[in-house]
Amino acid sequence: MLRSTAAVHSRALVLFGLALGLGAIAVLSLMLGSNLISPRVVLAALVDPAQDVGAVVWGSRVPRTALGLLVGFCLGLAGAVMQGQTRNPLADPGIFGVSAGAALAVVIGVYVLGTSSVLTTLWLALAGAIVASVIVFSVAALGSGLSSPVPLAIAGTAVSALLVAFTSFLVLSDETTLAAYRIWVIGSLSGRTLSGVDAALVFAAVGIVFAVANIRSLNALALGTELASGLGENLIRARVVGLAAITLLTASAVAITGPIGFVGLTAPHVARAVIGGDHRWLLPASGLVGSGVLLACDVIGRLVGGTAEVSVGVVLTVVGGVVFIAIVRRARMVTL
Amino acid sequence: MVIVTLIALVAAIVIALLGIVAGSSSLTIPDAVRTLVGAGTPGQELIVIELRLPRVVAGLLVGAALGIAGALTQTFARNPLATPDILGVTSGASLGAVAAIVLTGGSYSVGAGLLSLGLPLVAVLGALASSAIVYGLAWRGGVDSYRLILIGIGATAALGGITSYLIARAKITDATAAAQWLVGSLSGVSWSSVWPVLVCLVVITPIALQQSTNLELTQLGDEVSTSLGVAVQRHRLVVIVCAVVLTAAAVSASGPVEFVAFVAPQIARRLARVGRPPILAAGLVGAIIVTGGDALARGVLPGQVPVGIITAIIGAPYLIWLLTRRKERETL
B167 and A CB contact within 8 Å: yes
Q: With respect to residue B199, please indicate whether it lies within any of the assigned structural domains.
A: yes
Q: With respect to residue B197, please indicate whether it lies within any of the assigned structural domains.
A: yes
Helix ranges restricted to H, chain A: 2-31, 39-47, 54-56, 62-86, 98-108, 118-142, 149-173, 175-184, 198-213, 215-221, 225-230, 235-257, 261-275, 279-305, 312-330
Q: What b/e sequence results for A172-198 when a residue is b if at least 16 CB atoms lie within 10 Å of its CB, and e otherwise?
A: beeeebbbbbbbbbbbbbbebeeeebe
Distances (CA, A) of A187 to A115, A129, B90, B205: 18, 15, 21, 41
Q: What is the largest CA-CA distance in chain B?
A: 63
A186 and B CB contact within 8 Å: yes
Q: Are B239 and B76 in contact (CB under 8 A)?
A: yes
* Contact call for B154 and A153, based on CB within 8 A: no
Q: With respect to residue A71, please indicate whether it lies within any of the assigned structural domains.
A: yes
CATH number, domain at A215? 1.10.3470.10
A162 and B CB contact within 8 Å: yes
- What is the total count of domains within chain B? 1
Instruction: Measure A77 CA to nearest chain B CA, in Å.
Output: 19
Nearest by CB: B263 against A142, A158, A269 = A158
Q: With respect to residue A335, please indicate whether it lies within any of the assigned structural domains.
A: no
Whole-number pLDDT of residue A288: 95
Whole-number pLDDT of residue B332: 42
pLDDT tens-digit readout, B204-262: 999 988 888 788 777 777 777 777 777 788 888 898 999 999 999 998 888 888 789 88
pLDDT tens-digit readout, B137-170: 888 877 787 788 888 888 888 898 888 888 888 8
B42 and A CB contact within 8 Å: no
A304 and B CB contact within 8 Å: no
Q: Structural domain of residue B136, as residue ranges?
A: 2-325
Closest among B133, B125, B126, B120 to B92, alpha carbons compared: B126
B159 and A CB contact within 8 Å: yes
Residues from chain B contacting residue A139 (CB–CB below 8 Å) = 320, 323-324
Report the pLDDT averaged over residues B194-198. Answer: 89
Categorize the per-residue pLDDT at B30 as very low, low, confident or very high, splitting at 50, 70 and 90.
Answer: confident
What are phi and psi for residue B122, nearest 5 degrees? -60, -40
Q: With respect to residue A336, please indicate whether it lies within any of the assigned structural domains.
A: no
Whole-number pLDDT of residue A336: 61
Nearest CA in chain A to B320: A155
Residues from chain B contacting residue A162 (CB–CB below 8 Å) = 312-313, 316-317, 320
B324 and A CB contact within 8 Å: yes
Residues from chain B contacting residue A144 (CB–CB below 8 Å) = 323, 326-330
Q: With respect to residue B332, please indicate whether it lies within any of the assigned structural domains.
A: no
Instruction: Measure B316 CA to nearest chain A CA, in Å.
Output: 5
Say what the ipTM of the complex is. 0.76
* Contact call for A172 and B180, based on CB within 8 A: yes
Task: List all residues of chain B from 127 to 146 with a beta carbon under 8 Å from chain A.
Answer: 137, 140, 146
A91 and B CB contact within 8 Å: yes
First to last CA, chain B: 18
Instruction: Measure B263 CA to nearest chain A CA, in Å.
Output: 8
pTM strictly above 0.90:
no
Residues from chain A contacting residue B82 (CB–CB below 8 Å) = 90
pLDDT tens for chain A, 336 residues long, are: 445 677 788 888 888 999 999 988 888 888 887 677 777 777 777 777 777 777 777 777 888 899 999 999 999 999 999 888 888 777 777 778 888 898 898 888 888 887 767 778 888 888 898 899 888 888 888 876 666 777 777 888 888 888 988 888 888 888 888 888 887 888 888 777 777 778 888 889 999 999 999 998 888 888 887 788 788 778 888 888 988 899 889 888 888 888 887 888 889 988 988 888 888 999 999 999 999 999 999 888 888 866 677 888 888 888 888 888 887 787 665 566
CA A170/CA A164 separation, integer angstroms? 10
* Contact call for B329 and A140, based on CB within 8 A: no
* Contact call for B176 and A172, based on CB within 8 A: yes
Residue B108 has pLDDT above 50, yes or no: no
CA A122/CA A261 separation, integer angstroms? 17
Whole-number pLDDT of residue B68: 94
Rounded to an integer, what is the distance from CA B19 to the centroid of its chain? 18
Nearest by CB: A186 against B151, B155, B164 = B164
Interacting residues of A23 by C-beta distance below 8 A, sequence separation 6+: none
Nearest CA in chain A to B146: A335
Whole-number pLDDT of residue B106: 45
Give the CA angle between residues B301, B307, B310 to the nearest 5°. Answer: 60
- What is the total count of domains within chain A? 1
Interacting residues of B219 by C-beta distance below 8 A, sequence separation 6+: B75, B78, B276
CA B174/CA A305 separation, integer angstroms? 22
Residues from chain A contacting residue B90 (CB–CB below 8 Å) = none
Nearest by CB: B157 against A88, A165, A321 = A321
CATH number, domain at B239? 1.10.3470.10
Residues from chain B contacting residue A150 (CB–CB below 8 Å) = 80, 330-332
Q: Are A188 and A71 in contact (CB under 8 A)?
A: no
Interacting residues of B148 by C-beta distance below 8 A, sequence separation 6+: B77, B86, B87, B134, B135, B138
